[in-house]
Amino acid sequence: MSPRTVPGGTWPPAPRRAGAAARLRRALRPLRRPSRMAPSRPWSKPPQLLVGGFALVILVGTVLLSLPAATSGPGAAPPLTALFTATSSVCVTGLVVVDTPVYWSTFGQWVILVLIQVGGFGIMTLATVLSLLVTRRVRLRMQLRAGAETKSVTLGEVRQLLLGILQVTVVFEALLTAVLAARLVLAYGEHPLHGLRLGLFHSVSAFNNAGFALYGDSMESFATDPWITVPIALAVIAGGLGFPVWVELYRHARRRREAHHWTLHAKITLVTTAVLLAAGWAGFLLLEWRNPDTMGPLSVGGKVLTGFFQSAMTRTAGFNSLPFGDMHTQTLFMTDMLMFVGGGSAGTAGGIKVTTFALLAFVIYANVRGESSVHVARRRLTEGVIQQAITVVLLAIGLIFTATMALMTITPFTLDQILFEVISAFSTVGLSTGITGDLSPPGEVIIIVLMFTGRLGPITVATALALQRRTRRFEYPQERPIVG
């Protein structure tokens, strides 16, 4: 249609020519960085919320433990002692610079118990919710065919998720409390109320993989008592598996007559945990069988029991039925490796997690075979998961190396003692060769940073890497450097 003259101009109007600024904005629009998540959404910054929440709980615990009522003697605990104990409690580690049953009053012990429960429950809850958020985001963005991996629970079922975690926690802790209290009252003559308090404290500490004990020698007095050590070991293993695995076990129990599809996460966690538990059990027996300061004086049954107990404690709980300060250097090094791996994801255990360890093993296996992709149990691993696993491990190694160098500079202890302490703190294990109470104030600060970073570091790093997916608008030419 040709333009015609109308009052006020022509019709249709001639298109306006865009100015230089408008043309530049249109040209640059495809290169703009995609907008980030709106800050008003509740999951805008999950890693920051996780770190801030736990730091706040530690601060409150430090204030409570600094009160004069928290100590059994006159005066109040020094701020650094209160901070160390609060961090160890919230991060469910178990390392202590003072004797818990002697130094802290009943009020202080209750504060430690509450901090352990809040820290353990919070870690399980937040880690599970964040893992669901990550899985959901990855599924939506990458359009993965992972229905089997995400159908267990969804983000809309957070209330049911919290109730499920609470129920699992209450059931395990109540059962363990009853068993321990009954054993302490009937076999050791404890007063019923005192026995109940001891049972409750150690059950909460065990299920949350904390390792705090109300006995000066931890569990060494009960080394050959299976009614004490076996329930504690089973609770430690249960808490270290993680809530997603318990969801799978519960569904498998309900569908015994039906074919139940196990998720890849559950398969890896259960198999790797069993393998590491058996390997640690055999390693302790082999290395400490004739050690006169540890297993040597025990009977065959006592040696088998203590070997199983110590292997389970590397899941990561700081109870010990044998003195680690008297163990061989080879045993300490083996324990270092087991503590570094830790337990399952979205649970109360620390370390790099058994899934990370297993995935890297499959990556190595695939590379040795010359395969271009990594397959596990008829599933192909994505590049993002492999990169996350490598990043978590390398950051952990770097942190452990730095802390070990720092402690070697400022403390007189040997390398095997310092390395054991550093890995125990980073992996939130709580086992020690006995040097924790002799650390200088700078050394205590280093251990505090390790416990906090080790507890939240793998979670926050993995979550941040999974949530911050950015698409590059261009790629540089490819080149392959020489490796090896």
What does residue 380 show for φ and ψ, rounded to 5 degrees?
Answer: -100, 130
C-alpha of 466 from chain center: 17
* Closest C-alpha to 221, from 136, 340, 138, 306: 306
Hey, where are the domains in the chain? 45-467
Alpha-helical segments (H) within 143-292: 147-150, 158-188, 192-207, 226-241, 243-254, 264-288
C-alpha of 131 from chain center: 13
Q: What is the pLDDT of residues 81-91, one digit of tens each?
A: 999 999 999 99
Tell me the C-alpha to C-alpha distance, in Å, between residue 211 and each of 88, 236, 320. Answer: 10, 9, 8
Characterise 411 by phi-psi region: left (phi > 0), alpha (psi -120 to 50), beta (else): beta
For residues 113 and 116, what is the distance between their CA atoms, to the nearest angstrom?
A: 5
pLDDT of 389 strictly over 80: yes
For residues 457 and 350, what is the distance between their CA atoms, to the nearest angstrom?
A: 10
Tokens describing residue 410: 């400022």
| Amino acid at residue number 162 | L
172-198: string of b/e by CB count within 10 Å (b at 16+)? bbeebbebbbebbbeeeebeeeebbbb
pLDDT bucket at 17, cuts 50 / 70 / 90: low
For residues 452 and 403, what is the distance between their CA atoms, to the nearest angstrom?
A: 13
* Three-state secondary-structure class, residue 50: helix
pLDDT for position 22? 61
* Closest C-alpha to 352, from 388, 308, 402, 404: 388
pLDDT for position 139? 44
Q: Tokens 């129990």 appear where?
A: 253
* Closest C-alpha to 134, from 342, 380, 384: 384
pLDDT for position 463? 60
pLDDT above 70 covers a percentage of the chain that reads 77
Contact 231, 186 (CB under 8 A): no
pLDDT for position 20? 56
Tokens describing residue 72: 């059994």
For residues 311 and 278, what is the distance between their CA atoms, to the nearest angstrom?
A: 8
Averaged confidence pLDDT in the chain: 82
pLDDT bucket at 6, cuts 50 / 70 / 90: low
Q: What is the pLDDT of residues 62-109, one digit of tens each?
A: 999 999 999 998 889 999 999 999 999 999 999 999 999 999 999 999
> Which DSSP category does 103 fall into?
H
What does residue 306 show for φ and ψ, rounded to 5 degrees?
Answer: -70, -35
pLDDT for position 39? 41
pLDDT for position 423? 96
Q: Tokens 């055999």 appear where?
A: 282
pLDDT for position 230? 95
The set of residues, in sequence order, having a beta carbon less than 8 Å from that of 318 and lying 6+ positions away, is 93, 94, 95, 210, 211, 212, 218, 424, 429, 430, 431, 432
Q: What is the pLDDT of residues 436-465, one digit of tens each?
A: 999 999 999 999 999 998 888 766 665 655
What does residue 289 show for φ and ψ, rounded to 5 degrees?
Answer: -60, -40
Q: Tokens 């390392």 appear where?
A: 95
pLDDT of 204 strictly over 90: yes
Cis peptide leading into residue 412 (ω within 30°): no
pLDDT of 151 strictly over 50: no
Q: What is the pLDDT of residues 112-149, one digit of tens each?
A: 999 999 888 876 676 566 555 555 544 434 333 333 33
What does residue 434 show for φ and ψ, rounded to 5 degrees?
Answer: 105, 15
pLDDT for position 36? 44
* Three-state secondary-structure class, residue 407: helix
For residues 434 and 97, what is the distance between their CA atoms, to the nearest angstrom?
A: 10
**C-alpha torsion 39→131→337→444, nearest 10:** 40
Q: How many residues are given for the chain?
A: 484
